[in-house]
Amino acid sequence: MNTKAPIQLPLTDVPADWDEQKDVTEFTYRFGEDQRDAYERGLCEIEHGLARLDESLSYGLTVLLDPQTDQQNRAIEGLTIPGKIDLFRQAPNMKQFPASSLQRLEEDLARCTAAYRVSDHVLGQFVLARGDVWLVEIADTADGMVTAGFLLKESVNCEYARLASPVDSTIGVLGQVVL
């Protein structure tokens, strides 16, 4: 697997003139009006992002590893997000992937790792000092996880599923009929 430097999602770079009104306006623009406290809504969006990221990783592992029993499926579901990312890297059938696909997979997994780490950082800061966390930071965190999960799922559907499936003896790797 490619060992390029991992993708680093930057924490939100809030402009110096950022204020509470701009923060609420941006957050409302991105997530719509809601009667709940904006921070409560933001935490719900982060929970949604975590769920989508976890779901995409489970889906990808199911496609890649093709678990044969309910127990294997339950074990995949029981893994944490970092555990699922590690399992992706250990999948035995990835050895057959071409270098470009391995690079794309590593980029997808690095994006997932970075999004998860940012969420840990932002949630930790929220617990320690809610007033020091801008709503836009929460929004960027939620969006980063949803995006990472979406891009991984797209890669699984467009590339990895084809590469992980057994090759029919009458059809070559590129879909050409073998005589």
pLDDT in tens, 32-71: 888 888 899 999 999 999 999 999 999 999 998 889 999 9
Asked if residue 78 has pLDDT above 80, the reply is yes
Segment among 3-17, 66-80, 99-113, 132-146 with least mean pLDDT: 3-17
Sign of CA dihedral 47, 147, 150, 96: negative
Extract long-range pairs of 66-75: CB within 8 Å, 24+ residues apart: 66/164
Say if residue 92's pLDDT is above 80: no
d(CA 115, CA 147): 9
- What does pTM read for this prediction? 0.82
Least confident of 2-6, 25-29, 102-106: 2-6
Q: Distances in Å between the alpha carbon of 38 and those of 30, 35, 146?
A: 12, 8, 19
- At 129-148, the pLDDT tens digits run 887 888 999 999 999 999 99
